[in-house]
Structure 1
């Protein structure tokens, strides 16, 4: 398959799902694809904004592949993307109404970029790379694709259901050169790939003459705070964020833990529909 061919059935299976089906897909398989999560005009505006975004080399290339600063701190187009209602409405239905924005990142895959190892984006005990940022016990990562991908153009490779594996092979700090059970998931420009951060995934090589751009955005539910403090955004870093998004964005350490100190162990009178087996629409 080349980057000009049709995406895989694995992607297309997600298209047109009802909300209960989407929740079941994410919880059981570990991922969901939303087509047209951003429009062609959105993509053009983001690419124009990123022309002045400072970039740096990465661990796998000396080309300018990684953003030096979080893209939402650089301009209003990336900042507005945090509030993409199509994705946010799903995230709230999946995790609850109160979300905290944790992270944004921009990655370019240049021609000649190599294949990347299979890994998770979950660091429950902290790491030298991300400190406590990726330690939240529950976190949803969204990848917005600004270009089509294919097996020859930095296609995503995933191991479905790996996020719920209890085996030691699934310990989240491991990286694998190969995964016999992985599947390749070509995506289209405008797609949002939404996944559980414990899902093992990698990236295929870019053997084309075209660059692929991708934006990462992370959310967590209010209760699932990092296991240690993470730096909060400065007022300068928040200057492009719309005011209606500030409650979700401003404090990355915010949490709701009032029940942690409930010494009487009182229950709550709540139907808990988000916990019900009926959330899958059965």
Structure 2
């Protein structure tokens, strides 16, 4: 469901309301969703929020660990800062979240496959952050920003918010359904300053937004007086490797990860494909629940 502030609507189509002034705010009751409904929202809308995954105590520990990490400003604003490869830092509470059972269990069922973690990073939007350009995290031929790893055909990014997302606190911006478009405007290499049908997503601290890598998204400016922090982790199914060879994780560093996290740091070049697939074979399956139209019915 969508809401707008202020309410100066010019046109309405179903649950979408076009506003003259101000953003449209997503008013979905995330806590009432079944897992099948969560899957549907992620697959159709391009994102979903799973609320209240991190306890107040864990949030405190994560904030303390992340505050000690060095960050670099982005080329467009020093007020948007990040630290990559958090898994190699002295941040045990954050590293443990990479293997959070509630999340990885959901993703394993979503993908029907083993998970490969491709990145973990800390990002902070400080007061004065102007907002990101609307973009995708998918580049099917790789890119200077993301490298060949962005060519993985299936990937989601999990955004754990360490602070409440309010309209003033650099909330998530999404263009729903944009990952489904076949139009040239959906070329994943394109970027936009704004979009008339963008939606603002707010949630409580400790919640996680999961975004399809191909959905157009960003964040809004931070017009508050406090930082907005998040811990972002990218996962893909094991079969969906990049189109080109990428540098592997350092084996000695992987060996030092907790066992329940290490299992998600398999080879970044893992791909389970059959290049020599035949048109028709004698052992083809006759069921595939993962593509059932009824999968959204629970």
Task: Give TM-score scaled by structure 1 length.
Answer: 0.91
Match of 1:5 in 2: none
Q: How does 1:1-282 map to 2 (within 5 A)?
A: 10=26, 12-63=28-79, 65-67=81-83, 69-74=84-89, 75-238=91-254, 240-257=256-273, 259-263=274-278, 265-266=280-281, 267-269=283-285, 271-281=287-297
Aligned to 2:138, the other structure's residue is in SS state: coil
Unaligned runs of 5+ in 1: 2-7
Give the superposition deviation at 1:150.
Answer: 1.6
CA contact (8 A) 1:102 1:252 kept: yes
CA contact (8 A) 1:125 1:135 kept: yes
Give the superposition deviation at 1:19.
Answer: 1.5
Aligned to 2:134, the other structure's residue is in SS state: strand
CA contact (8 A) 1:159 1:199 kept: yes
CA contact (8 A) 1:11 1:33 kept: no
CA contact (8 A) 1:151 1:184 kept: yes
Give the superposition deviation at 1:62.
Answer: 2.6
CA contact (8 A) 1:72 1:240 kept: no
Aligned to 2:120, the other structure's residue is in SS state: strand
| Deviating more after overlay: 164-173 vs 18-27 | 18-27
| Greater relative contact order structure (CA < 8 Å, 6+ sep) | 1
Give the superposition deviation at 1:261.
Answer: 2.9
Give the superposition deviation at 1:63.
Answer: 4.7
Aligned to 1:181, the other structure's residue is in SS state: coil
Aligned to 2:176, the other structure's residue is in SS state: coil
Match of 1:4 in 2: none
CA contact (8 A) 1:147 1:213 kept: yes
Q: Take 1:162 and 1:64, find their aligned partners in 2: how far apart are those partners?
A: 25
| Deviating more after overlay: 48-57 vs 138-147 | 48-57
| Deviating more after overlay: 122-131 vs 263-272 | 263-272
| Aligned-residue RMSD, C-alpha | 2.0
Q: Take 2:256 and 2:74, find their aligned partners in 1: how far apart are those partners?
A: 26
| Deviating more after overlay: 191-200 vs 69-78 | 69-78
Aligned length in residues: 274
Unaligned runs of 5+ in 2: 6-23
Provide Cα deviations, 1:84-137, integer angstroms capped at 9, x if missing partner. Answer: 111112111211131111111110111111121111111111111111121111
Q: Take 2:64 and 2:263, find their aligned partners in 1: how far apart are those partners?
A: 28
